[in-house]
Amino acid sequence: MAKEEMIAMLLAGGKGTRLGVLTKNIAKPAVPFGAEYRLIDFPLSNCTNSGLNTVGVLTQYKPLILNSYIGSGSSWDLDRNQGGVTVLPPYVKEGGGSWYQGTADAIYQNLEFIDIYDPEYVLVLSGDHIYKMDYSEMLKYHKEKKADVTIGVLPVAWEETHRFGIMNTNQDQKIIEFQEKPENAKNNLASMGIYIFNWQYLKNYLSAEAEAKNGSAGDFGHDIIPKMMADQLNFYAYTFNGYWKDVGTIKSYWQAHMDLLGENPNLDLQDRNWIIYSVNPNRPPQYLAEDAIINNSMINKGAQVMGEVKNSILFFGAKIGKNSKIENSIILPNTIIRDNVKIKNSIIGRNVIVEKGSQIGIKAKKDNSTAKELKITVIGDDEIIPKSSNIKAGMVVG
């Protein structure tokens, strides 16, 4: 097997509990996004566009849909004779086996896979962030700095620093301190969960941690990185100034979709120089009735609209009935909205049926909550909403 300079390990086993009913039956990286895609399409496409040909995808929670979706990797040009994409679930070894116990442990349990390619560097990614990034530029930076570890960072608003791991750096961007969700941050550079490690260093630390913890190598943020920093390895911050969104909560997932519909979208999904690839089987075209009204929305193939859709995103197979009005909402695949339905500020899951005359997410007249306190209504997959139901703003069904 020819030696690879760098391979990617994509962590895609998370349960995504903060997304609630949206991840009840599906792994978080397989959650649909942007009318056409799933969350995992973004890091996989970034790998392809960055010239990375070997990607290990580490799956665990509810993996069936995700594994089937990835398939041979052909949709991302990762069906290679050497390298390509490999799905890596936990498995039983000679000495036994266990579920992945943390981010670092997931990498540790796949040492043999990484050693097949004998890379100089390993890129560790999360499978559930929305962004476009050239990892080859980050690797170039890593080599220029003669770094042992490079961490992708993003400037965040100072009032948001308590939500992130914060990297304190000197003038040369060398990381001199790591603060985990600090109350009083010294910097506003937040970790993006994107790491480049010199492989031999990482391998040694993973093995030592597993030995110390009776088999588990733990987590990068809590175990491996603090030990590496204590040993004064060279850590550098690679600042990313593009659009990046951790869609780990209902509100951030909804907001990321609304960002696509702004006058100047922060994330251009039409950019032919950096295509976001996805699995797209042949589907019929959209059908828009003669009196349908579409305003500032994304309507995927196979959707049918007989009513009004405003500032919303419809995935494939969605059907909107006559006199129904959808506003500021996300309608996931194969969901049927019958006639005379009103939906606002909502996320409607896959394969849902909303019967005639229902109202979802419509704020009561006496509700004085401000836009800052916006209540997102969520309907889980496969639900049937009875005729003339009234599901109030902020409720979760499922």
Between these two residues, 63 and 136, which has the higher pLDDT value? 136
Give me the residues paired with residue 165 across strands: 180
**Are 53 and 106 contained in the same domain?**
yes
Indicate whether 325 and 233 sit together in one domain: no
pLDDT tier for residue 216 given thresholds of 50, 70 and 90: confident
Residue 266 lies inside a defined structural domain of this protein? no
| pLDDT confidence bin for 99, thresholds 50/70/90 | confident
Q: How far is CA 32 from CA 46, 74, 132, 345, in A?
A: 17, 19, 17, 17
User: What percentage of the chain carries pLDDT values higher than 90?
Assistant: 68
* Residue 98 scores a pLDDT above 90: no
| pLDDT of 251 above 90 | yes
Is residue 110 domain-shared with residue 245, that is, in the same domain? yes
- Look up the CATH number of the domain holding residue 104: 3.90.550.10
What total of structural domains would you count in the chain?
A: 2
Question: Is 212 among the domain residues?
Answer: yes
Question: Do 386 and 248 sit in the same domain of this protein?
Answer: no
Domain ends where: 209, 243, 259?
259
CA atoms of 278 and 45, how far apart (whole Å) = 8
Reading the block at residue 290, the tokens are 């003669």
The full DSSP string for 105-158 is: HHHHTTHHHHHHH--SEEEEEESSEEE---HHHHHHHHHHTT-SEEEEEEE--G
Binding-site annotation: residue ranges for alpha-D-glucose 1-phosphate? 100, 165, 180-181, 191
Query: Within this chain, do residues 301 and 188 fall inside the same structural domain, yes or no?
Result: no
Identify whether 282 is part of a domain.
no
For residues 58 and 81, the model is more confident at: 58
Rg (CA), the chain: 22
Q: Are residues 294 and 247 in the same domain?
A: no
Report pLDDT for 61: 87
Same domain? For 146 and 102 the reply is yes
> pLDDT digits over 203-215, tens only?
999 999 988 887 7
- pLDDT value at position 222? 82
51 within some domain: yes
Segment 56-78, tens digit of pLDDT: 999 988 888 899 999 999 999 99
What is the Cα–Cα distance from 77 to 151, expressed in whole angstroms? Answer: 27
CA distance 107 to 129: 19
Binding residues: 100, 165, 180-181, 191
Q: In this model, does residue 138 exceed pLDDT 80?
A: yes
Domain assignment present for residue 319? The answer is yes
pLDDT on residue 256: 94
Where among 220, 240, 259 does a domain terminate? 259
In a domain, 205, yes or no: yes
What is the C-alpha to C-alpha distance for residues 165 and 180, in angstroms, rounded to an integer? 4
Tell me the average pLDDT across 372-387. Answer: 92
Cα dihedral 344/317/86/58 (nearest 10) = 30
Q: Note the pLDDT of residue 14.
A: 77
Domain co-membership, 56 together with 193:
yes
Q: In the predicted model, is pLDDT for residue 299 greater than 60?
A: yes
Residue 270 domain flag: no
CATH number, residue 302: 2.160.10.10
Domain identity same for 296 and 342: yes
How far from the centroid of its chain's Cα atoms is residue 70's Cα?
15
Q: Does 110 lie in the same domain as 51?
A: yes
Q: Is the pLDDT of residue 163 over 90?
A: no
Instruction: Please tell me the pTM assigned to this model.
Output: 0.92
Nearest to 315 by CA among 341, 286, 289, 288: 286
239 and 317 together in one domain: no
What's the pLDDT score for residue 85? 93
**How does the average pLDDT of the chain come out, rounded?**
91
Cα–Cα distance measured from residue 92 to residue 156, given in angstroms and rounded to the nearest whole number: 41
Distance, CA of 248 to chain centre: 8
Is the same domain home to 322 and 205?
no
Q: Give dist(CA 273, CA 278) in Å, integer.
A: 16
Domain residues for the domain of 300 are 287-392
272 domain residue, yes or no:
no
Lowest-confidence range among 27-31, 91-95, 200-204?
91-95
